[in-house]
A and B are shown apart, each in its own frame.
Chain A
C-alpha cells in the first residue's frame, strides 16, 4: 500500500515529563506537511517518537504506518519500511566512514540479506549521483560519520542520507535551524528534487521553528503545535499569518481556549486555535 502515517491522540513522555498530550496528524504519500511551533512545544519529541528513540515513551494513543502499528516496531524496522528522519542533532560515530555507514544503511533499506552488502560498484554509482545532485563535497564520504562536521555539513549529510535511502515518508527535524539562507535554499532544493524524483509520492513532514524554509518548500498543510498538541492547521498561508501574529499571539489564543474547554467535551476555538477534546 502507499505510505500513510496516521498519528492518533498520541501522548508521550521523557523520563517523567509528559510532552505530547494528544497529538493528531496524518501524512499521506505525496503530501508535504509543515509542523511549526515554539521551542518546547513537543515538535522534536514527536519526531523522535515517530522514529522510535528509546529515550521517549509512548503512554497513550497510536501511530499507524502503512496500516501497521508503528510504536511496536524497532527503529531499524521503521527505517527499512521507508520512514526517515533528518535529525536536528546528528550523532558522531568515530572511526566509521560515511561511505561504509551509507553502504550498510542502503543495503539494509533495500533488503539485502544479512551480511550481504550492495556491491561496491553499484553503491559508488548511486552515491556519486546523489553527491552530484545535492552538491555535497565528495570528500565527506571518507570522513567519519559527523565527526568534525560543521553545523551545515551535518545537515547536508543528513539530506544526503535521505537521498540515498529514498524514504517514503521523511521527517525533517529543524533541518533549517542554524543554517544561513544559502544553505537553507540548498537543503530545500534537495528535498524538492527528491520529492519530484519520487514521482511526487514521498510524504514529508517538515518540522521548523521559523517559516523561512517554507518559502522554498511548498507545504500542502501547515500545523502549529503548542503544549504537546496540534492547535491549529491550515493551508500554506497559515505560515505567513503565523509570522505576523507570532507564537505569542498563538499562545494568548491557546490559553483562552484552554480555560474555556476545561471540563467540557466540545470543540472550542479562539482565532486560529481550536481544540478537540477526546
Chain B
C-alpha cells in the first residue's frame, strides 16, 4: 500500500511552503569568515584536522571565482546568508524527543509514517543539524552504520578521516569548497562486505529559516559485494528572499558492490540548489544515480561516476522539470578510466510556463579504457512556446576501442496525442499530464513504488491549468 506522501511533494500548490517559528538553540550571524567557520567547528567539538580542513577550504572558496556558466549564480549574496543554524541541543532517538513544532513539520511531510512502513532507516535534517536518526535493528546487527555526519565524525573518526574529501576535494569547485568549510549534517552510511540492505535508507532535508544556507555532507562507503539504496528528499518554505542549498556527496563503491542513490528534490522556488555529487566505482562495482529535480530556483548538479577499475558500471537517470521562474541545469558525468567499463545516461527534461530545463553532461574515456561502452540519451519535452530546453553534451574520447552513442530528441506535446486522449473523455489537463508522465516513465519505473506514485501526482499538479 502506497503511503500518501513520503517525500513531501506538494499535492496542493506548494503545500510545503509553510514555515515554523524559530526557537533555535543557536543561530550564527549572517555572512562568512574565519570566525564563523571556527565557531561551527568549536560548537561541534571537532578534532583539529577537521577544523584545519574547514579553514583551508574557506581559503579556496574565497579565491575561486564564481562560475560564469550554467545558471546565474552571480546573483547569490554570500554575505546575506546564515551559514549555521542549530535548531535543538541534542538529536532525537525517537520522534518524541524532537521538539513539537519540528516534529509536526516532519509529520506533515509524512516522514515518520514512511519510516514505519517501508524504510530501513531515516535521517531528518532541519536547518544545519540532523534532528532525528534511526536505523532498524536488523541492519545494525549486520554491521550497517547509518549516522548523521557529525555523529560519524565522533563515533567513526577513522573511517571518516580515511575517506572525507577523497572523492570531492575542496579544490574541486567553489561550492565544494564552501561546503567543505561550513558543512553540517548529512548522512554517513557504511555497509560491510556482502551485506545487502534490501529496503531503502532515507534522508530528508528541510530548510525552515529565511536566508538560510544548508550545507550537508554525505559519505557512503559500500564494501565489496554489498548493496544499499539511499533516498533523499528536500523541501523548504517559500520566501521572497533566496536560500542556498549546497551539499557534497561522496560515494565509494568497492569491488562488486552496488549503490543506488535516489534524489527527489522539491525545494521551494526561492532556493539555489548547487550540489556536487560524485562516486568512485571499483572493479565490477555498479553506481546508479536517479536524480529528480522538480523544485528550486536554480539547480546545477551533475552526479558523476569515476569508473577506475575494470568492469565498473555507471547508470545515471535524470529528470528535470522547470516551471515558471525555474532553471534546471542538471546532468551527469561518466568517467571511464579503466578497460571494459560501461555507462548509461538517460535524461528527460520538461519545461513549461517559461521554465528552462536541460542536460549538461560529460563523457570522458581515458586512453587505455579499451572495450568500454557508453550510451547517452537526452530527451526534452517543451510544453509551450515560452519555455526553453538546452542540451550541452561534451564527449572527450581518448581511446579508439570503445562504443559511444549519443541520442538527443526535443519534442512538443502533439495536438494529435492530446486529441486522442481527450476523445476518450479525459480532460485536457489530465491528458497533458498523462503524456508527460509517459515521457518520464523510463525513469519513474526505476523508483520504488511509493516515490513514483508521488512523482506522478506532482507532475499532475504542475500540469493543472497549463493548457487551454
Residues of A with Cβ closer than 8 Å to B? Answer: 51-55, 74-76, 78-80, 84-85, 87, 90-96, 100-101, 104-105, 108-109, 144, 161, 165
Contacts and interface: CB of A to CB of B under 8 A. Distances in A.
Contacts of B415: 54-55
Contacts of A84: 423
B350 interface: no
Contacts of B13: none
B26 interface: no
B167 interface: no
Nearest to A53: B419
Interface stretch (B184-192, B221-229, B252-260, B430-438): B430-438
A95 B430 contact: no
Which 7 A-B pairs give the minimum distances between C-beta atoms? Answer: A95-B438, A95-B441, A108-B425, A79-B425, A105-B424, A96-B438, A91-B420
B440 interface: yes
Nearest to B431: A76
A95 B442 contact: yes
Contacts of B440: 95
A93 B423 contact: no
B460 to A, nearest CB: 8
A76 B425 contact: yes
Contacts of B425: 76, 79-80, 105, 108-109, 165
B316 to A, nearest CB: 19
Contacts of B416: 91
24 contacts: A52-B423, A53-B419, A54-B419, A74-B428, A76-B422, A79-B422, A79-B423, A79-B425, A79-B426, A87-B420, A91-B414, A91-B419, A93-B420, A94-B438, A95-B438, A95-B439, A96-B435, A96-B437, A101-B434, A104-B430, A108-B424, A108-B425, A109-B425, A165-B424
Contact of B422 (A74, A100, A161): A74
B90 interface: no
B421 interface: yes
A85 B420 CA distance: 10
Contacts of A92: 417
Contact of A90 (B414, B420, B434, B442): B420
B155 to A, nearest CB: 45
Contacts of A144: 438
A74 B423 CA distance: 9
A93 B434 contact: yes
A230 B425 CA distance: 29
B427 interface: yes
A79 B416 CA distance: 16
Given A74-B428, A93-B417, A104 B434 contact: yes
A96 to B, nearest CB: 4
Contacts of A51: 419, 423
Contacts of A80: 425
Contacts of B421: 93, 101, 105
A96 B441 contact: yes
B427 A108 contact: yes
Contacts of B431: 76
A79 B424 CA distance: 6
Contacts of A94: 438-439, 441
Contacts of B417: 91-93
A100 B441 CA distance: 12
A249 B437 CA distance: 51
Contacts of A87: 420, 423
Interface string B184-213: 000000000000000000000000000000
B426 A105 contact: yes
Nearest to B440: A95
Interface string B440-457: 111000000000000000
A79 B414 CA distance: 20
Contacts of A105: 421, 424-426
B420 A161 contact: no
A75 B441 CA distance: 26
Contacts of A54: 415, 419
Interface string B99-111: 0000000000000
Interface in B288-340: none
B319 to A, nearest CB: 12
Nearest to A76: B422
A76 B427 contact: yes
A75 B421 CA distance: 9
Contacts of A74: 422, 428
Nearest to B416: A91
